[in-house]
Amino acid sequence: MKRNKTALVTGCSSGIGYSTCLLLARNNFKVYGTVRNLSKAKKIQEVIDKEKIPLKIILLDVNDSESIQNAIRDILYDSRKIDVLINNAGYGMFGPIEDITTEDVKLQFETNFFGVIRLIKEIVPIMRKQGNGTIVNISSMVGRFGVPLNAAYVSSKFAIEGLSESISYELAEFGIKIIVIEPGVVQTNFFNNLKINGLDTSSPYYELMKKRVSFLKIAMKNSPTSSSQVANTILDALNSKRPEFRYVIGMDAKNSIQKKDSLSDKKFMKWVSDGIFQGKPFSR
């Protein structure tokens, strides 16, 4: 009898991670969903208890190497293997680069980029010995192009894109696949964890930041893309014998990337600026 695939998903207390953990567990994956704070796992634990699905919540802080090693050790003791790693944990930061401290940027990268590095470095030796495995990195449409007043977050996603491309070459011969997920704006509780600088009236960027945050709130409210849609794309990719390297999700993401590829830099940057500061949606 073929054993179910074992998946490790980071950041599962809400949003994309939450939806992905539940969907995989409901589709014959043995899932280990991680959270940095177990008190935030009550909602997903209630679903697990009700449905009796193969999903276990474990403590893991992507910023703490010892925490990662302990979690992986426990998973291997329980399942003897890890077939899938989904690097989802992260948060957003908004603000002009002048108003963001260097320490703020370091913290953004610590979670969004170096957290991914830490997981990959622990998981790859396991997958290499197995002779197979899949690593899914959750990026964003802004991993492909820059947007104003979002430099720290955008840069961390650009870094994920470069990392993913690079390691895909070196891990292919060991049977390890890399998949990059690039959603547009997704209806989640993103604002709950969002860090915003530049909304002080003393900031020279105050008026621009008001427009930027207003645009994001409207885009999130009106976005047809849900975390469940992202989770379904991840499931389809994992079940595919020949998955794509990149999956772009949402009309805003697809349209934006198409514009990026077809317009000159100058025209594309004007299109982005008009969209954010004049309220013209990216889906057009």
CATH of the domain at 28: 3.40.50.720
| Cα of 145 vs its chain's centroid, Å | 16
Sheet holding 133-138, edge to edge: 55-59, 30-35, 6-9, 84-87, 133-138, 176-183, 246-249
Q: What is the mean pLDDT of each run of 10 residues along the chain (284 residues)?
A: 83 96 98 95 96 97 98 97 97 93 96 98 98 98 96 97 98 98 87 72 90 84 89 98 97 96 97 85 61
Angle among Cα 225, 227, 229 to the nearest 5 degrees reads 60
Predicted pLDDT of residue 221: 80
Predicted pLDDT of residue 190: 66
In a domain, 58, yes or no: yes
In a domain, 220, yes or no: no
| Backbone phi, psi, residue 70, to 5° | -65, -40
Distance CA 225, CA 158 (A): 22
Distance CA 120, CA 223 (A): 31
In a domain, 170, yes or no: yes
CB-based contact 160:112 (threshold 8 Å) = yes
Of 18, 32, 77, 153, catalytic: 153
Q: Write down the pTM of the prediction.
A: 0.94
CB-based contact 249:182 (threshold 8 Å) = yes
Q: Which of 200, 8, 180, 26 is nearest to 98 (CA)?
A: 200
Q: C-alpha distances in angstroms, 99 versus 64, 96, 192, 202, 272? A: 27, 5, 21, 11, 22
Predicted pLDDT of residue 195: 78
> What is the sign, positive or negative, of the torsion defined by CA atoms of 222, 228, 232, 235?
positive
In a domain, 47, yes or no: yes
Predicted pLDDT of residue 233: 98
Which domain, by its residues, includes 241? Answer: 6-202+225-250
Q: How many domains does the chain have?
A: 1
Distance CA 168, CA 165 (A): 5
Distance CA 96, CA 149 (A): 5
Q: Which of 141, 152, 144, 148 is nearest to 110 (CA)?
A: 152
Predicted pLDDT of residue 1: 38
User: 153 catalytic, yes or no?
Assistant: yes
